[in-house]
Structure 1
Amino acid sequence: MDDATPYEAQRTVQRYLSQETRHNILQVILGHPAHLVSATEFDYYIPKSRSTISEQLEDLANHEILMQYHHEPNAEVRDIPTDFWGLTEFGVSLLVEYNYLRGLPIMRAAHDATHKTETVQRHEDASRPSLPASVGEALKYDKPSQSDHTADPSDLSELREQTFYADAAPADPSVLNEGAEGDRTLDELFE
């Protein structure tokens, strides 16, 4: 790529990273709480054959974007992985340059909301080696706190008064019963 123009280099890298299986591998790593993923976890999250996933992991490793991290203490424990795939320093710098890390919070939220089998959860909970400090630091992000999602009731009341949208929740839920028999609650409408 040394002889390529910057535009050609960018296009080549974007095409390489956007290949479906490689892209999915990177998304799984970014969404994983430890950013180190076992083969079983990849197999669960990516709808491709294990051989296809392995082939692309090796390809990413050959390009020094990923590497396999080994955790010897797990070798003595049954049904726990010892090898995990994660980003290298070069891999992180490449993802930073091409803005892949901006999706980190979204990938993490998707990962957290995904149902996991007992085996996958056991793999996720397994101890892992540490990532190089620069890699771990680059993959940190500020999680929103629970209080960020909790609205103050007085703010909601004020917002309702200022809202003219048809889909705004009514301040007085009794209006939901107008023209209907019985006394329906808001919860009953969505059962």
Structure 2
Amino acid sequence: MSLRIYGNRSLKTLPGQATRPTVARVREAVFNIWQGTIDQCRWLDLCAGSGSMGAEALCRGAAIVVGIEQSPKACAVIEQNWKQVAKPDQSFQLLRGDVVKQLNRLQGQQFDRIYFDPPYASDLYVPVLQLVEQLNLLAPHGEFAIEHSPEYELPDSGFSIVRQKRYGNTALTFYQL
């Protein structure tokens, strides 16, 4: 299976719904909301799945994309997709493993845009929100977007909610410091 991103570029995905790529409508909405802030940004893609959000960020000029994904098969697809779209002046790094454990490896780094799309039924929301805050991963003027089920109420955190959107079976909550 493949999907299309910015510039009509085709990306590979894994068969089935194991990595559940962010649907085009939601992906487009995120990049419209963050329009004008992607060029030269530092992007963090948590539970990267097919890598479509990171690939889209690279296509739109992100300077650095870092992704975390647990599935070895998904990581192979992400690497291919990001190599395909990255320009020579862009860098990317993919960390394989549990998102909570891998986040600690990013201590000392900050990101302008963080996108978190875990399996909706997972118990990752609280620990990831806490770690992003504790490790100071969000840059001072950055934003952190979390994709989740509309029925799920995200926990309170040290971040401020700046907007919430709903797109069918997908909700997005955007945070700032």
TM-score normalised by the chain length of structure 2: 0.29
The structure with the largest strand share of the pair is 2
The structure with the larger Rg is 1
Q: Say which structure is richer in helix.
A: 1
> Which structure carries more relative contact order (alpha carbon 8 Å, separation 6+)?
1
Q: So what's the TM-score if we normalise by structure 1? A: 0.27
